[in-house]
Amino acid sequence: MNQIDRPETFDTEALREKVSKIATANREEKRAQKAPAALNPLARQIAAQFQADTYSPAMMIGLIRLLDFCALFAIGYAINTQYVGPSLEDLPVYLAILAGGSALAVIGMQIADGYQIPTLRAWLRMTPRILGAWAATFGAIALILFFLKSGHLYSRVWVGGWFLAGAIFLVAERAFIAYSIRHWSRNGTMERRAVIIGGGAPARDLIRAIEHQPDNDIRICGIFDDRDERRSPNVIAGYPKLGTVDELVEFARMARIDMLIFSLPLTAEDRILALLKKLWVLPADIRLAAHANNLRFRPRSYSHVGQVPMLDIFDKPIADWDSVAKRCFDIFFSIVALALLWPVMLAAAVAVKLTSPGPIIFKQKRHGFNNEVIDVYKFRSMYTHLTDPTARNAVTKGDPRVTPVGRFLRKSSIDELPQIFNVLKGELSLVGPRPHAVLAQTQDRAFADVVDGYFARHRVKPGVTGWAQVNGWRGEIDSDEKIRLRTAFDLYYIENWSLLFDLKILFLTPIRLFNTENAY
C-alpha cells in the first residue's frame, strides 16, 4: 500500500518522523483498522447528545468585537446626524472620525483584556477598564485634532454626547453579555467538546485539573482507552469509558467533537504515535496534556485550558473565523457563477432532456465533510438504465454508458455545474478536495486501502474544483499512483489553505479545463 507523507504542521521534528515511520502496517491490518468500529449503546447515546453545532469562544469574541465597533459607530453617527447635520462635503471627515474612534476603542479594550471570556463574565469588575479604554480613545482623538489644529471645527456637544452614550452602551452591553455567556455555557451553545484518550490515574488528574479551572469552556464527553478495566477503570473521575480508540473515530464522526486530549506521558511515545496514526484524519484539534510532563517545548507549541498546558500536535483546519470567511467566499462566487453561467446550464439541461430519456439531474452518493454521505448533483451524462449511482465501475475512454451529449459535458466539466447548488446548501465548497463516490475504487481496491491517510481529505468540505484538478489530476482513476498523487495534492491544499489560495485555484480552473486528456 502506498503511503502519503503528511505535510508539516507542528514543531517537533522527531515526532513527525515517527508518525511517518509507524505507518507501515500490512494491507490486511489496515483494512481492519479502517473498518468502522461498532459503538456500544452508551457511546451511541452520548454521541447523539452532541450532534448539534456549537460556537467556539473565538467566534463569540470576534462577534462581540464586531458588535462593539458597529454599535459605537452607529451611536456616534446618530448623534451627529441629529445634532450637527453635516453637509455632504463635511460628512466624509465625520465618518472618518467615527470609524477611527470606534476602531481605536476596540483596540483599547483588546489591550485592556476586555475580550477574554473570564473578563466578559466579570463585567462589573472590568467596567473601570472598559470605560478607561473608551476615555483613552477620546483622549487620542482630541490629541490628533489638536496637532491638526482643527479641534475647533467640530461640535463639543456631539463629542460629549457620543462619549456619554457610548459609555452607557458599553456598560449595559457588558452586563448583558455576562448573563448571555453564563446561559450559553449552561445550555452548551458556547463550549469546546473534548474527549480524553487514555485512562487510569493520568486521565483522572487531567480531568480534575481541567474542572478546577475557573470559567472553563471545555465539556468532557467521555474517555476512550484500549486497555482493559484492570489498568483503565470503566468510570474515571465520574466520566465513563466509552470504548477503544478505534471506536473513537466513529464516535467523533457522529458527534461534533472539537478536541482530542491525550492523557499519556511523553515516555509512552510508541503508543502515542500509534494512536496519532488513527486519529489525525479527524477534523479536530489534537492535544497532548503537558501538565504532568517534565519536558518543555517552545512556548508557541502550547495552548492552554485555563492554566493547564497542552502540547499542540494537530489543529483543526479551516476553523472559526477562517470557516466564516471561506463560507462567505463560497456564497459570493457561487452567486457570481450562477449569474454568468445560467445560459450554459440552461442549454446543457435542454440538451440532456432532448437527447435521451430520463431525469436531467443525476444524484450520486459521495463522501462529504467528516465522512458524511451527501447527494452530489450533476447533469446526467449516461443513459438512464446504465447509470451507476455507486460509481463502483469508473467511466473509461469510449464508455458505451455515456451519451454523446454526456461525453461533451464530461470533457468540458459542464456536467459538474449543478454542484454550485451543493455549495449554496453548504454541502460543498467551491474549492476543496473533490468528493469521491462512497464505493469508488481502483483495481478492485477501495481508495482507503490504497492510500494511507486517505480519509484525512475529509477534514474539510469537499470542493467543486481543487488543487489536484488544476494540476492535471482529474478524470479517470485507474491506477494506485493516480489516487496517491491526488490525495497528496489534497493534503497539501488542506495544510496550506488561505483565501488567496482558493482564489488562485478558482481562476486557474477554467484555464486548466482545456486539458481534457483524462476526462471521459
Q: Is the pLDDT of residue 414 over 80?
A: yes
CB neighbour list of residue 31: distance below 8 Å, 6 or more residues apart: 449
Type of residue at 295: L
Domain range summary for the chain, segments of one domain joined by +:
11-54+191-314, 57-187, 321-512
pLDDT score recorded for residue 37: 63
Higher pLDDT residue, 209 or 505? 505
**In the chain, % of residues over pLDDT 70:** 84
Across 122-126, 429-433, 439-443, the highest mean pLDDT is recorded for 429-433
To the nearest whole number, what is the mean pLDDT of the chain? 81
Type of residue at 128: P
Determine phi and psi for 343, rounding to 5 degrees: -65, -35
How is the chain split among helix, strand and coil, in percent rounded to 5? 55, 15, 30
What is the average per-residue pLDDT within 135-141? 89
CB neighbour list of residue 367: distance below 8 Å, 6 or more residues apart: 373, 374, 435, 436, 437, 438, 458, 462
Higher pLDDT residue, 431 or 120? 431
* CA 464/CA 454 separation, integer angstroms: 19
Q: Is the pLDDT of residue 403 over 60?
A: yes
C-alpha cell at 486: 491526488
180 with 208: CB under 8 angstroms?
A: no
CB neighbour list of residue 167: distance below 8 Å, 6 or more residues apart: 131, 134
pLDDT score recorded for residue 135: 92
What is the average per-residue pLDDT within 59-75? 91
Quickly state the pLDDT bin for 455 (edges 50, 70, 90).
confident
Q: Is the pLDDT of residue 157 over 50?
A: yes
Across 139-153, 193-207, 300-314, 431-445, the highest mean pLDDT is recorded for 193-207
What is the average per-residue pLDDT within 476-486? 79
Q: Is the pLDDT of residue 240 over 90?
A: no
What is the average per-residue pLDDT within 389-394? 66
> Which residues pair with residue 445 across a beta bridge?
442
* CA 264/CA 255 separation, integer angstroms: 23
The count of other CB atoms within 10 Å of the CB of residue 331 is: 14
Q: Is the pLDDT of residue 494 over 60?
A: yes
Pick from 189, 234, 194: nearest CA to 42: 234
C-alpha cell at 35: 473498518
Kindly calculate the radius of gyration of the chain based on its CA atoms and give it in whole angstroms: 28
DSSP string, 245-273: HHHHHHHHHHTT--EEEE---TT-HHHHH
Quickly state the pLDDT bin for 520 (edges 50, 70, 90).
very low
Question: pTM value?
Answer: 0.77
**In the chain, % of residues over pLDDT 90:** 25
The DSSP symbol for 516 reads -
Determine phi and psi for 312, rounding to 5 degrees: -75, 115
The answer to which of 76-85, 306-315, 441-450, 467-476 has the lowest mean pLDDT is 441-450
Higher pLDDT residue, 219 or 339? 339
Taking the alpha carbons at both ends of the chain, their separation in whole angstroms is 27
* CA 77/CA 82 separation, integer angstroms: 9
pLDDT score recorded for residue 341: 92
CB neighbour list of residue 11: distance below 8 Å, 6 or more residues apart: 297, 298, 300, 301
Quickly state the pLDDT bin for 198 (edges 50, 70, 90).
confident
Assign 3-class secondary structure to 109-123: HHHCCCCCHHHHHCH
Q: Is the pLDDT of residue 463 over 80?
A: yes
pLDDT score recorded for residue 2: 44
Residues in the chain: 520
Higher pLDDT residue, 295 or 491? 491
pLDDT score recorded for residue 506: 92
* CA 105/CA 101 separation, integer angstroms: 6
Pick the CATH number of 11-54+191-314 from 3.40.50.150, 3.30.930.10, 3.40.50.20, 3.90.1150.10: 3.40.50.20
DSSP string, 408-468: HHHHHTGGGTTHHHHHHHTS-EEESSPPPBTT-EETTEEHHHHEETGGGGGGS--EEE-HH
Quickly state the pLDDT bin for 269 (edges 50, 70, 90).
confident
Higher pLDDT residue, 29 or 420? 420
pLDDT score recorded for residue 238: 86
Q: Is the pLDDT of residue 447 over 80?
A: no
pLDDT score recorded for residue 236: 86
Q: Give the DSSP H or E segment for 222.
A: strand 218-224
Torsion angle, alpha carbons of 447, 453, 457, 458, to 10: 90
What is the average per-residue pLDDT within 217-238? 83
Higher pLDDT residue, 31 or 467? 467
The answer to which of 87-91, 95-99, 123-127, 495-499 has the lowest mean pLDDT is 87-91
Q: Is the pLDDT of residue 321 over 90?
A: no
- Residue located via cell numbers 452591553: 173
357 with 340: CB under 8 angstroms?
A: no
pLDDT score recorded for residue 5: 43
What is the average per-residue pLDDT within 111-119? 86
Quickly state the pLDDT bin for 377 (edges 50, 70, 90).
very high
* CA 311/CA 262 separation, integer angstroms: 10
Q: Is the pLDDT of residue 205 over 80?
A: yes
Pick from 198, 269, 197, 268: nearest CA to 232: 198
The count of other CB atoms within 10 Å of the CB of residue 214 is: 9
Would you call 493 helix, strand, or coil by DSSP? helix
Q: Is the pLDDT of residue 312 over 60?
A: yes
What is the average per-residue pLDDT within 504-515? 83
What is the average per-residue pLDDT within 117-130? 87
pLDDT digits (tens, 9 = 90+) for 12-55: 455 445 544 544 444 444 444 444 567 888 888 888 888 877 77
